[in-house]
Chains A and B, each alone.
Chain A
Amino acid sequence: MGTCLVDLFYPKAGLAGMQLLRNAGVKVIYPRKQTCCGQPSFNSGYRKEALPVARSLIKCFPKDIPIVIPSGSCAGMIKYHWSELFEGESDIEKALSVAERVYELTEFLVDKVNIELTDLGEPTKIAIHTSCSCRNEMKVADRIESLVSQLSKVEVLEQERKPECCGFGGTFAVKQGDISGSMVKDKTDALKAANASCVVSQDCGCLMNIGGALEKQNSQLKTQHIAQFLWDRTNAGN
């Protein structure tokens, strides 16, 4: 699964994830008709609108094979909230069978693929931003750390208040824009103080938020989705 955000805004990250899997010997199918898991409207209280969107996604994944998603928040939505969204619906069983097969990308790479990474890049220092959904919901924050630790020339610098939310929260960033702005300022302050050259994350929502803020602040600090980061490091120049 690509996710709606990745499809339009971070397609290279999605592609990198698929290429990493293919390189590791996994057959990757990318159903072209997929759109979105329904989370944006679900989190805004509009569950009735989320349902048909989620339903259209079910149709794309009929086979009993793992569904890998480069986003903790989308993976979490399907895995843990579709049961609520589909409560009382006639197709809840179908929805739950999809939910059962969901993995976040780094989770799948570590737990199922046992991927081995060889670092071909130049020495660099990065910071890791673990998204709230990866940490609290999917419980896969350690997987990104584990993947990065395989890269011999990458040093991880720790920022202050690492577990604190970056302030994205989907529509929160629009509905409570000033609070969100203050939160992302605190987050970018902490990240800038870590003195890394790049911030990597499992979630593009966080990247859009943090990256956008850093750009507005004219910071040199770059952001990248973990899939793209790993792909670049292990296929330098390819």
Chain B
Amino acid sequence: MQEIKSLENRIDEALNNEQLHANFRSAMSYLMEKRRDQFPDEKQLNNEREVASTIRSNSVTQLPELLIKLEENLEKNNIKVHWAETDLEANNIVYQILKDANAKTVVKGKSMVTEEIELNEFLDNKGIEILETDLGEFLVQLANEKPSHIVMPAIHKNRKEISKAFFDHFPEFPYTEDVDLITQQVRKILRDRFRQADVGISGVNFAVAETGTLCLVENEGNGRMCTTVPPIHIAVTGIEKVVEKLSDIPPLLDILTKSATGQEITTYFNMISSPRREGEKDGPKSMHLVLLDNGRSKIHQNNDMQETLKCIRCGSCINHCPVYTQLGGHAYGTVYPGPIGITLEPQKQGIAELGELTSLCTMCGACGEVCPVHIPLPKLINKLRSEAVEGNNTNDLIEGARSKRKPLESFAWQTWKQVYSNPFIYSIFSKIATKLNFISPKKLGKWSKYRTTPRPSKHSLKELANQAGFDNE
């Protein structure tokens, strides 16, 4: 699909794309404002975050018990449960279900976890027709691209780009940039596909262990179509999405929709507990749930980083990240971008592979301030940085610990340490830096591309303090 570019190249490309910059600026401002409007009362917001955080903490700390309970209740409800340790396994499980049913066409609702395992590519290679039905994903699929945001996949595209991609694929429709008209045309095209599809695939927002219920949020109706019309429904979820009780759902649903798109509630909230029962006239005749691990159980074992799994995929951290606003989603090169992405992905794929991503952060803390379930993202990102350069490389839990340690950088920090941990050495360094400040470098790499280079003052604060008569102790 896309050539493999380095992170540096992707960043470069993103920064030089003014249209992209404008698109993301406007989109992120819009999303931040919508979220703000939903939470006018800070005290109440904090209470709601506390509740959501507790529910999700419980989910994570009791994960094995809850998964067993979930499986038990799902199976009781006639939903077949499959466990997949790896992405390949999950893909094979899905493919096997299709093969057994002689299925050739699939309609799919929006699901980040299926992006994660690259389900579409896998099934495509097996000759299965798989069609994205969420409007944003549909448009992104037409343009042969990947989603750039976990909630609003086509956020990087403007109207012109969308219209062009659409009409290149469907020349039988008259060209238009009218959003309503394009929407109606997509509706027409997809109605037939829903009706004729052999299998519907969806993700899961929450899986309730108590009742064996899969919950899905959406605005368009395509999720309901995929999970109701075709004779087979396959749901795929990360193992961490399970919650204990049905009563946990209202507070989570509330804070999810408000944080994600600034909506009090989505158009549809779909709670599925079984396939078509005796006497019922519609709904899938059989249902499957695939529980995907793909690195999550390993993260679970790491007490320092376990909170990563509390995530409910609202995208709020992404919307508030100033670095994401500059780059957009594609530059990260991973399925999950932004703060949650740079926390999750290096843990899943190893630091050697993706450790660089942790540099895409100024530690501004905006993400931690908005996370509805109190994931301490800045702290986790910082911890990953530490693992990357001074972690224990026999550490089983973080793959590639210490792999980003570079001799030059570590030497620089050790030198810095020598100077700054020793007041006497520092005082000499400070004298040189101030008195001989004219020899301080004029250019400091990339810094100087955008700013003048700072120069030490002629007198240090210590000197000024002396002059002004401030006591030493």
Contacts and interface: CB of A to CB of B under 8 A. Distances in A.
Instruction: Establish whether A and B are touching in the complex (CB under 8 Å).
Output: yes
B461 A136 contact: no
Nearest to B470: A30
B381 to A, nearest CB: 10
B450 A132 contact: no
A222 interface: no
A39 B368 CA distance: 19
A180 B450 contact: yes
Interface stretch (B115-123, B125-133, B294-302, B416-424): B416-424
A179 B389 contact: no
Interface stretch (B154-162, B228-236, B279-287, B441-449): B441-449
A10 B366 contact: no
Nearest to A167: B362
A137 B365 contact: yes
Interface string A1-33: 010101111111011001100100001111111
A115 to B, nearest CB: 18
B345 to A, nearest CB: 17
A55 B365 contact: no
B420 A56 contact: yes
B365 A164 contact: no
Interface string A168-180: 1110111111111
Interface stretch (A117-125, A181-189, A193-201): A181-189
B454 A212 contact: yes
A44 interface: yes
Interface residues of B, number: 70
Contacts of A209: 451
A133 interface: yes
A136 B364 contact: yes
B457 A184 contact: no
A174 B362 contact: no
B422 A56 contact: yes
B191 to A, nearest CB: 42
B11 A179 contact: yes
A55 B421 CA distance: 8
A213 B421 contact: no
B454 to A, nearest CB: 5
Contacts of A48: 390
Interface string B389-419: 1100000000000001000011001101101
Given A136-B364, A179-B326, A41 B416 contact: yes
A8 B362 CA distance: 23
A10 B459 CA distance: 9
A36 B360 CA distance: 25
Given A49-B417, A183-B322, A183-B326, A31 B473 contact: yes
Interface in B416-436: 416-417, 419-423, 426, 430, 433-434
Given A18-B465, A136-B365, A167-B362, A46 B413 contact: yes
Bin chain A's interface residue count.
35 or more
A32 B465 contact: yes
B198 interface: no
Given A44-B389, A132-B366, A30 B465 contact: yes
B178 interface: no
Interface in B357-391: 359-366, 368-369, 379, 382, 385-390
A152 interface: no
A215 interface: yes
B277 interface: no
Given A45-B385, A216-B450, A8 B420 contact: no
B459 A4 contact: no
A14 B453 contact: no
Contacts of A182: 15, 21, 326
B433 A8 contact: yes
Contacts of B359: 172, 175-176
A18 to B, nearest CB: 6
Contacts of A8: 430, 433-434, 456-457, 460
A169 B366 CA distance: 13
B38 to A, nearest CB: 17
B414 to A, nearest CB: 6
A7 B389 CA distance: 29
Interface string A34-53: 11100011111111111011
Interface of B: 11-12, 15, 21, 29, 322-323, 325-327, 359-366, 368-369, 379, 382, 385-390, 404, 409-410, 413-414, 416-417, 419-423, 426, 430, 433-434, 444-447, 449-457, 459-466, 468, 470-473
7 tightest A-B contacts by CB? Answer: A177-B446, A169-B362, A212-B451, A136-B365, A45-B385, A181-B450, A132-B364
